[in-house]
Amino acid sequence: MNALEFTGLTKRFGDKLAVDGVDLRVPAGSFYGVVGPNGAGKTTTLTMGVGLLRPTSGGSRVFGVDVWERREEAMELLGVLPDSMSVPERLTGRELLRYIGRLRGLDRRVVAERSEELLDVLGLAGDERTLVVDYSTGMRKKILLATALLHGPRVLVLDEPFEAVDPVSGATIRGILNDFVAGGGSVVLSSHVMALVENLCDRVAIVHAGRVVADGTLDEVRADGSLEDRFIDLVGAERVAVRTLSWLGER
């Protein structure tokens, strides 16, 4: 059974084809990495896949449940951390979790206990009076991860979850995600840090110019070399040709 399945996802903004027929199958219990250069279409693909952006064509299913046809059912299964979006900004971290918990109709005591644990583990418990609007980028990623985890989803879709997160918190998040997968959960995350994806994920897709140019298990995709070598091969070697500035260094 696939935890998440994108079929022919395509998105056109005016004349620009941002995502071009992406097919992706995330088996249940896998840790799936989506890598690609800036502007490759990773965020647009994931945003369509979770039902926040209507695709020009194609579809998306969570455990076989169509995210557009049976929206509410799909949402029960998903936990999402989007990139560059607001939350109710004038709440503190704890208030945000309490709000999301109550909005989902979770039991008050359960929300209180989980919030306490999430804030503590993610290192946000010391910022009781700080509003989310005043959070740093890293703190924002962590509180968004907490809101994605709060209701105990079966699939996590995380857009750049490690961006601007400090190394200690990064290790904590890796631990949480590994435990989640070990417990039967499935994770899809996007990143452009190859080493991170290579360390964490068992399956990888490389996205370039709106298309999936390689996907499969980590070993299948990277073949004999490193993921970074394979990525550079597929995305275009000319990008890394070393160029220098003629005037820099002249005195």
Partner 1 sequence: MKTTILGLKGRILTHGPNEERGFALCVGLVLAGGVIWLARSPLVHPDWVLAALAGWGLMWIIGPLTQAGAHGGVLRTEWFRLLPARPREVARAWLPSEFAGVGPLVTLIALAAIVVYAAPAGGLAVAVAVVAVAGQLAVLVLLSKTMVLLIGGVMRTRFGVEVAAFQMSLMLAIAFAGWIPFAAPVVPGPGQRGAPFDLLALAKSGLPAGVVDVLTWSPVGWGMGAARAAVAGDLGGAAVFLALLVVLAVALAALWRVLMVRRLSLPPSRPVAATGGGREPYLASILGRSPVGAVAARELITWRRDPARALELRHGLLTPALMGVIAGLSGWTWALPSVGALIAMFAAMASVNLYALDGTALWQTLLTPRAIRADVRGRQLAWGLLFAVPALVWTVVSLPLTGAWWAGPVAVGAAVAGLGVGAGMIVLLGVTMPAVGMDARHRTELGQRAGDPSGQQMLLWIAVGAACAAPSLLLLLVGGDPSSWLHQLVASALIAAAGVWLPGRIAIVRLTRGGDEFLLALRSGPATAAQKARDAWRKALTQARAKTS
Site residues for partner 1 per CB under 8 A: 50-54, 71-73, 75-76, 78, 80, 82, 84-92, 95, 98-100, 102-105, 108, 128-134, 140, 147
Cβ proximity to partner 1: between 147 and 169 the closer is 147
Cβ proximity to partner 1: between 53 and 213 the closer is 53
| Token pair belonging to 139 | 């703190």
Smallest distance from partner 1 to CB 197, Å: 24
Give the strand pairing for 203-208 and 211-217.
antiparallel
- Per the listing, tokens 């199958």 go with 25
Residue 218 is given by DSSP the state H
Cβ proximity to partner 1: between 93 and 210 the closer is 93
Cβ proximity to partner 1: between 13 and 229 the closer is 13
Smallest distance from partner 1 to CB 167, Å: 23
Smallest distance from partner 1 to CB 78, Å: 7
Question: Closest Cα to residue 23, out of 152, 219, 205, 208?
Answer: 205
Report the C-alpha gap between 64 and 188 in whole angstroms.
Answer: 16
Smallest distance from partner 1 to CB 202, Å: 26
Cβ proximity to partner 1: between 91 and 234 the closer is 91
CA distances from 127 to 91, 123, 172, 221, 239 (A): 12, 9, 18, 42, 42
Report the C-alpha gap between 17 and 77 in whole angstroms.
Answer: 30
Cβ proximity to partner 1: between 129 and 243 the closer is 129
Report the C-alpha gap between 49 and 145 in whole angstroms.
Answer: 18
- Per the listing, tokens 């990888």 go with 204
Smallest distance from partner 1 to CB 11, Å: 11
Smallest distance from partner 1 to CB 223, Å: 37
Phi-psi region of 203 (alpha: psi -120 to 50; beta: other; left: phi over 0): beta
